Amino acid sequence: MSFRELAQPLRGIIPPMVTPLAGHNQLDEAGLERLVEHMIAGGVHGLFILGSCGEGPSLSARLRRQLIDRTCQCVDSRMPVLVGVTDPCYDESLSLASYAADAGADAVVISAPYYFPINQSDLLAHFQRFAQESPLPVTLYNMPALTRMSFEPETVERLAEEESIVGIKDSSGDLDYFQRIERLRQRRPDWTFLIGQEHLLAPAIERGADGGVCGGANVWPQVFVQIYDAALASFDTTIAEERDVLPHLVDQADRLARIYQLGSQPITASSVIRGLKSALAALGICSDAVALPLQSLSATEFRQIAAVLRELGLPLTMA
């Protein structure tokens, strides 16, 4: 199958958007619109929906499709929309990719299918077929903490032979691994290399990353865009001022990350989701409702998150 090519390679800050909920299996459409506009106003370069922060695997097929439709409508071609289509069932992933294409999305993001243990040979065959059948460009998603499976560099190298696979988002947290796969740029200069962990954004860009998929950019998009810009400036010795602010910006992002430290120790994907949604609720953007089986943070924890935002000077809508 032929695929719809990207207008330009993916670059910059592409937040993994949370899914605003109005209740069980109910999309908060007003909250969604506020969130999209909040991030666009903050200068982000694209949006990634139905990923880990978007609770994609916990949402019904109907709600996933509703979210795709409404997000594409809200964005209205102002920036690329990437859609997570990870599913244990191959046909469900392909069906969601087709739906995303019809809705006007720009690319799909897909990680290793979870539940059954598989080997690299299985992984390679799975993604080779998906790449040939997807109607949209494909970005690989390396998320071993949740899928229990990592794309070995040799597998990524083989998958780079597929024209429709246009990049990878690495959430392994391993910069050595990231540098190994980033060397593929010599063969695929059109590829996009995105870092998942936001605390690695600056060092990853300095090592060649094209951008970051930073959960905190849901809450404070400006600081992550500024980190991206300042890290890029490190390559230009004539832009000293922007480069010199990088340590301060990284410190701001690190302070924001305290919202992930409530409700779960050590920090997990679940604590990140709860922290992001509580922070967005404190900012008056959407509710803190999360998809089952998760539960929202307690009132005490919510107040602690609000205190973090207040210290950072973010505009709370609560006393």
Catalytic annotation on 90? Answer: no
10 Å Cβ neighbour count for 298? 12
Determine the Cα–Cα distance for residues 62 and 99; give it in Å rounded to an integer.
11
* Cα atoms found within 13 Å of the Cα of residue 9, Cβ hemisphere only: 17
Collapsing DSSP states into helix, strand and coil, what is residue 23? strand
* Cα atoms found within 13 Å of the Cα of residue 121, Cβ hemisphere only: 0
Burial of 51 (0-12, 13-18, 19+ CB in 10 A): buried
- Measured in degrees and rounded to the nearest 5, phi and psi for residue 139 equal -110, 125
Q: Which of 169, 228, 260, 277 is catalytic?
A: 169
Determine the Cα–Cα distance for residues 302 and 283; give it in Å rounded to an integer.
12
Q: Which of 99, 141, 228, 260 is catalytic?
A: 141
Determine the Cα–Cα distance for residues 198 and 250; give it in Å rounded to an integer.
10
Residue 48: its H or E element: strand 47-49
Catalytic annotation on 228? Answer: no
Tell me the angle at which helices 90-103 and 61-75 cross, rounded to the nearest 10 degrees. Answer: 30
* CA-only gyration radius of the chain, Å: 19
- Sequence-distant (6+) residues with CB within 8 A of 97 are 83, 85, 108, 134, 135, 136
Determine the Cα–Cα distance for residues 113 and 90; give it in Å rounded to an integer.
8
10 Å Cβ neighbour count for 145? 14
CA-to-CA dists, residue 225 to 13, 126, 149, 266, angstroms: 6, 34, 30, 27
Active site residues: 141, 169
